Amino acid sequence: MTLQPSAKLSPEALYRRCGLEQFTFKTTEELSDVPQLIGQERAFSSIDFGTRIKRHGYNLFVIGTPGLGRHTSVRSLLEERAKAEKPPSEWVYVHNFAVPHCPQALELPHGRALAFRDSMEEMIDDLRSALTAVFESEEYQNRRNAIDEEFHQHQEEGFAALKDKADAAGIAILKTPMGFALAPMADGAVIPPETFNALPEEDRDGYKEKIQTLQVDLEAILKSIPKWDKERRAKLRELNREIAMQTVEQSIAEMTDRFSDLPIVLEHLDRVKKDLAENVDMFLGGGEDGGQGGLMELFDEGFNRYLVNVLVPREDGDASAPVVSLDNPTMLNLVGRVEHVPQQGALITNFLLVKAGALHRANGGYLVLDARQVLGQLLAWDALKRALRARRIAIESPADYFGGISTISLQPEPVPLDVKVVMIGERWLYHLLCAVDPDARELFKVVADFEDDIDRDDAATGNFASFLATACRENDLLHLDPGGVGRIVEHASRLAEDAHKLTLEVGTISDLLSEADFWAREDGASVITAKAVQRAIDEQDHRVGRLRERMQEYILRDIARIETKGSEIGQINGLSVIMLGAIRFGRPSRITARVRMGAGKLVDIEREVELGGPLHSKGVMILSGYLSGRYALEEPMSLAATLVFEQSYGGVDGDSASAAELFTLLSSLSETPLRQDLAVTGSVDQRGNVQAIGGANDKIEGFFDICKARGLTGTQGVIIPKSNVQHLMLRADVVEACEAGQFAVYAIETIDEGLALLTGLPAGERGADGAFPEGSVNRRAEDRLKGFAEMRRVFAKGASGDDDNGKTGHA
């Protein structure tokens, strides 16, 4: 067996340690705070630009991977900027006296809305008590009683005269369900019809004549009653108005003095005064004449109509622009709503039930939204766009959008909108949104793209240490010693999947820091050391390790077949990564290939059964290209081959197994056994170059764990693309095993390098004669292909046709 020592990586290449000599501190307590997130200068510059430019559509879309600290840092930056900005105007809704169902929006200077509301409440309260007293005064009661008495006097006089006349004439007046009646009477009772009919005709005529006369009188009285009552009500209204306005004018004058600098308030007070003059009956406990009735009464709400609905109450000390975050961005939470209250089975509303949305609260400042949540809420995105495009907030009912049965509600006057919206989302979400909705780019012209990682150099490592110091202080954690910092730096590289990068997922790092603090305190330590950090990492792995261990168990019990020793033709250990939420681990998979004579078709079984994704299929197709370009160039490709991930019952995607698939295909073709104590990962191009893949660390560790459990032999290892060496940040036990010569990681650039490692035979280069050297793997493969081609010619001569299934015809 011939190994290629140059391909075997030294232990130093497997893990990039953090040099502690660069840290001059004893603990991070000595380090100063970092003012903002490290490595996000581009994003912060975009946010700065986006918040300063005051143009339509220059809202911000902050994109990046979750956990980068986008929400916290955006909020912090906006609050800082907001402090330097003026507080916005305040908006209130008042009753619209002309169109009651369209509440009127008034704009007031900052700090005046609550005063206006309180003053109006005070005025109405004062008026209620003052007017109640006025209307209970003896003078008023006497004048009112005089009016009432005049009316009743009219009625009583008319009725009394009629009654006397009727009694004298022997005519009864009757009240019937249909009105009144006059009938002949005798002995204090109505003469029954049969008795009346028995009377002499002249008596009957006499009664009829009297009744006719009385009927005229009764008609006249009954017809006069509504007129008298109308006159009475008019006089009462005039009296009420006269009495009330003396008090009302005084109260309004006081309000006018207080808000003399606000013309819009003065105009409203004028309307209030006019309305009060027309509706003073309210102060009399409802008035016997009733209100306007029906729908208008629902909107009027009596005294409430004079109150003020402050949309966004602002405290006196709140002298900066608002920064509002909305956790649940439903349409109604964004643009506001008109609430209703049940009253005797009906849903009633008025302008006081108009509730502000986040856009109202953020108006004149900043609104921070989570893009995924906005897009996940029915109608929320459309409502937000409409408001931003129209530059005003119109409160609408969701029912209006569906065109179904609409309840009677209010249509509050829209409020002008001047807000900077900051949406925070993932990159794919932003790009998808831009692709499907052109408005997204129009309305969110500024993109702030958060970096996922930064270069790992001394300066960045120093900043990273300062960031850790800040996090410790902000979260009240123990500080770290240099060893602890170094271990977290190394882990940050592992999380970045790159030995030359540091992840910027501050959320993940903060979690690790908190957990390391916990374990350090458990140990009674006063600082977080590398040991505590390692414990935190190990515990994290352990907590999510159930599935990994279960899968390893299946392999170790040979339920899932994975060979880790010996050699096999047409079989290889590929490597894949399982990612389920927080769970992530590498796992070996057995890949096999079978070949026979055919028409040059390579069958990817995963694809045939629709378990293979498009990238995997692409990788397999590349293999065809490789075979066609490498072997039997003058012969037709007469190969039929099948490739499969054995015991794989889920989807397979990605092209990281394409190199392994090619190795096993060539093994089967050349009938050369492959080493089973090696696992392979890497993609391949049509020229046979092995290319980088993701998850190299997890994949190596996945195979290592199986080998270690079965007992390390010293020959086991993993072949990876050379371009992945820079990503290696392997676990300590893997590195230690490599140092001890118990395990190895090989880096290759070409398929031929891999073939030599896996077969122990030279791959073989074409000589001057154009042929591969005798005994080389490539020679074997080419000879087999030529054999297939020859066989195919033979069959073609005597057969009417053939196909990939190997069916042959007979002459």
Which residues would be at the binding site for another protein (CB under 8 A)?
Answer: 136, 155-156, 159-160, 162-163, 172-184, 189-193, 196-197, 204, 207-208, 211-212, 215, 218-223, 225-226, 284-286
Question: Exposed (0-12), middle (13-18) or buried (19+): which is 348, by Cβ within 10 Å?
Answer: middle
Of 205 and 553, CB closest to another protein: 205
Long-range contacts of 790-795 (CB under 8 A, 24+ apart): 791/597, 791/638, 792/597, 792/599, 792/636, 792/638, 795/597
Separation CA 730–CA 698 (nearest Å) = 8
CA within 13 Å, CB half, 440: 19
User: Environment class of residue 652 by beta-carbon count within 10 Å: exposed (0-12), middle (13-18) or buried (19+)?
Assistant: buried
Residue 448: beta bridge partners?
Answer: 62
Contacts of 487 (CB under 8 A, 6+ apart): 18, 530, 533, 534
Q: How far is the CB of 181 from another protein (least distance, A)?
A: 5
The answer to whether the CB of 729 falls within 8 A of the CB of 757 is no
Please indicate whether residue 510 is annotated as part of the active site.
no
Give the tokens for residue 495: 């999380």
Element (H, E) at 173: strand 171-176
Rounded Cα distance between 98 and 261, Å, is 24
Per annotation, catalytic residue among 658, 699, 722, 776: 699
Q: For residue 447, what are its two tokens?
A: 């993109």
Distant-in-sequence, close-in-space partners of 149: CB < 8 Å, separation ≥ 6: none
Nearest C-alpha neighbor of 670 from the set 579, 750, 761: 761
In this structure, which amino acid lies at residue 84? A
Instruction: List b or e across 142-175, with b for residues whose CB sees 16 or more CB atoms inside 10 angstroms.
Output: ebbeebeeebeebeeebeeebeeebeebebbbee
Report the amino acid identity of residue 286: G
Complex with another protein: residue 239 or 692, whichever CB lies closer: 239
Q: Which of 52, 51, 54 is nearest to 62 (CA)?
A: 51
Nearest distance, CB of residue 122 and another protein, angstroms: 23
Q: Least CB distance from residue 152 to another protein, whole Å?
A: 8
Cβ 758 vs Cβ 663: under 8 Å: yes
- Shortest approach of another protein to residue 306 CB, angstroms? 21
Q: Helices 41-52 & 70-83, crossing angle to 10 degrees?
A: 40
Q: Do residues 240 and 280 touch, judged by C-beta distance below 8 A? A: yes
6 is catalytic: no
Cβ at position 357, least distance to another protein in Å: 40
From the list 576, 656, 658, 670, the catalytic residue is 656
Which helix or strand (DSSP H or E) is residue 467 part of? Answer: helix 458-474
> For another protein, which is the closer residue by CB, 207 or 645?
207
Any residues with CB less than 8 A from the CB of 675 and at least 6 apart, and which? 1, 567, 715, 757, 758, 759, 760
Q: Under a CB-based contact definition with an 8 Å cutoff, are residues 492 and 460 in contact? A: no
Least distance to another protein from the beta carbon of 293, Å?
17
> What tokens appear for 734 in the block?
């893997």
Name, in order, each residue with C-beta under 8 angstroms of 257's C-beta and a sequence gap of 6 or more: none
In the bound state with another protein, the residue whose beta carbon lies nearer, of 54 and 223, is: 223
Name the 3-class secondary structure at 574: strand
Q: At what angle do helices 658-670 and 777-798 cross, to 10 degrees?
A: 70
- Taking the complex as a whole, the smallest distance from the CB of residue 211 to another protein amounts, in Å, to 5
> What are the helix (H) ranges across 301-437?
331-335, 358-362, 371-376, 380-390, 398-402, 427-436
Q: Just list the catalytic residues.
A: 656, 699
